[in-house]
Amino acid sequence: MPNMARSKKHIARREQLVDATMRAITERGRQNLRIRDIAAEAGISPGSVLYHYPELDELLFDVHRVVVERFYQRRVELVESHDDAARRMVAAIDTGLPEGRDDAVAKTLYEMHGLADRSSQHGALMTSLFDREVALYGTILEIGVAAGRFALTGPSRDIARTLVVLEDGFGLHLLSNTTSVDLTLARTLLARYAHQATGCELPI
């Protein structure tokens, strides 16, 4: 079964290339991305990149998909590692903001926004992430209400959407060079909004 060989290594290389591309995008930005950068980051030759991904668009799409999945899964895991409603909210806020200028997942995610503009496939990915983030916050809110910790000032869905949009806005500024916005401010204002919307003091 000679195809088994191809499959295994092929798949491994493709995963490796997705990671390499994430790093390359983090370092150079998507618009300056060259095949040789991906190749160098993966430690192989440019020709091999094309061998495993004849269509560069496919690689970029896989990167987007992986990054969306990692970002979301990490949030779910960290949120679910807490029982207390307030701590769950803080976990959601913390995992929703980029950790720094070198946060590869967050950086790549934002670089992908420029693609969503012209590609409905990328747009669909972004929408799926947005919807799941809203659902995540929605669940946190509802459970908090059920536990008697939160008293919402409006529909949970609206609060959840506002939180996600706020995160994205802060993310944009944190990854740009808007010096008026830093991580502490972002956490503080997000927590303040959450406090106001839930009536629950957050341990931030």
Residues in contact with a copy of itself by the rule CB under 8 A = 29-31, 111, 113-114, 116-120, 122-124, 126-127, 130-131, 134, 153-154, 158, 161-162, 164-170, 172-173, 175-181, 185, 189, 192-193, 196-197
Interacting span for DNA (CB under 7 A) from 47-55, 67-75, 150-158, 188-196: 47-55
Q: How far is the CB of 193 from a copy of itself (least distance, A)?
A: 6
Q: Which does residue 113 touch among DNA, a copy of itself, none (CB within 5 to 8 A, set by kind)?
A: a copy of itself
Q: Which does residue 114 touch among a copy of itself, DNA, none (CB within 5 to 8 A, set by kind)?
A: a copy of itself
* Token pair recorded at residue 70: 């990692």
Give the residue with the Cβ less far from a copy of itself, 84 or 131.
131
Spatial separation of the C-alpha atoms in residues 173 and 182, rounded to whole Å: 8
Q: How far is the CB of 111 from DNA (least distance, A)?
A: 15
Backbone φ/ψ region at 150: left (φ over 0), alpha (ψ -120 to 50), beta: beta
Q: Where are the alpha helices (DSSP H) in 81-176?
A: 85-96, 104-116, 120-146, 156-175
Interacting span for DNA (CB under 7 A) from 50-58, 81-89, 118-126, 182-190: 50-58
On the 0-12 / 13-18 / 19+ scale of CB atoms within 10 A, 137 is: buried
Q: Which does residue 36 touch among DNA, a copy of itself, none (CB within 5 to 8 A, set by kind)?
A: DNA
Find all residues with CB under 8 Å of 114, minimum gap 6, and list them.
30, 31
User: Considering Cα of 121, then 70, then 187, then 145, what sign does the dihedral take?
Assistant: positive
Spatial separation of the C-alpha atoms in residues 116 and 6, rounded to whole Å: 32
Give the residue with the Cβ less far from DNA, 35 or 76.
35
First and final C-alpha spacing in the chain: 57
Q: Which does residue 168 touch among DNA, a copy of itself, none (CB within 5 to 8 A, set by kind)?
A: a copy of itself
Q: What residues make contact with DNA under the rule CB under 7 A? A: 1-10, 13, 33-36, 44-48, 50-52, 54, 56
